[in-house]
Amino acid sequence: MGRSPPTGIAFFAAVDATVTELGGFNVIVNNAGIAPQSPIDEITPESIAKIFAINFNGVVWGVQAAARKLRELGHGGKIISAASQAGHVGNPGIGLYTATKFAVRGFTQTAARDLAKDGITVNTYAPGIVRTPLMEDLAKKTAESAGKPEEWGWAQFTDGITLGRLSEPSEVAGVVSFLAGADSNYITGQSILVDGGMVFN
């Protein structure tokens, strides 16, 4: 794949360290992300650059680093990245976050086709509303910016969940575990929704 780009060096180093410390490498999970509000009229070149650097570029470098190492080791593997329910249907108020997650899905589909010959599967998982500090912060800020109570902020994201409740992190982790294991060997280029029934395909 050639030399790693300067901005991706940390990813390549982390993969190398995994092999050194653990004696092998089979799976990478690209999970870093931020979800700031981005009202249309307030988007700037700086806000675009920041969120894409973390949410999208990080996935690109992670895929590069994983593919290079898996080829070097001479076996296939699993590349798993975080998409979002918002990467399937645009959500109000978070246009930039939504755009990055659509981009992750598109890049994943291409990577799945390009890396299949190496025995590498490439998929995403797409959580809905998960009870995490990031989601709590987003719900509070949404409410504050509208001058509404915190419960209103949560409702902007949770209304429409068919199962009627938020997801717990362990429920998302279960899907990631499935994608990392042998039961998903014949799945590639997919985005698996874990959203309690917010989006139906």
- Calpha distance 84→108 (Å, rounded): 13
Active site residues: 97
pLDDT of residue 3 exceeding 60: no
> What is the value of pTM for the model shown?
0.90
The total number of structural domains in the chain stands at 2
What is the pLDDT, as a whole number, of residue 4?
A: 45
Kindly state whether residues 36 and 123 are assigned to the same domain.
yes
- Calpha distance 14→9 (Å, rounded): 9
Residue 6: pLDDT band by 50, 70, 90 thresholds? low
In a domain, 13, yes or no: yes
Kindly state whether residues 161 and 174 are assigned to the same domain.
no
What is the pLDDT, as a whole number, of residue 91?
A: 86
Q: Write the pLDDT tens digit of every residue in 135-150.
A: 888 889 889 989 999 9
pLDDT of residue 35 exceeding 80: yes
Identify each DSSP E strand in 37-119 by its residue range.
Answer: 77-82
What is the pLDDT, as a whole number, of residue 7?
A: 65
Kindly state whether residues 69 and 21 are assigned to the same domain.
yes
CA torsion angle 176 87 39 60 (round to 10): 70
Domain that holds residue 76: 6-128+167-194
Report CA 180 to chain centroid distance, whole Å: 14
Residue 157: pLDDT band by 50, 70, 90 thresholds? confident
In a domain, 1, yes or no: no
Distances (CA, A) of 172 to 17, 114, 117, 129: 26, 27, 29, 10
Q: Write the pLDDT tens digit of every residue in 178-198.
A: 999 999 999 999 999 999 999
In a domain, 14, yes or no: yes
pLDDT of residue 1 exceeding 50: no
Whether the Cβ atoms of residue 28 and residue 66 lie closer than 8 Å to each other: yes
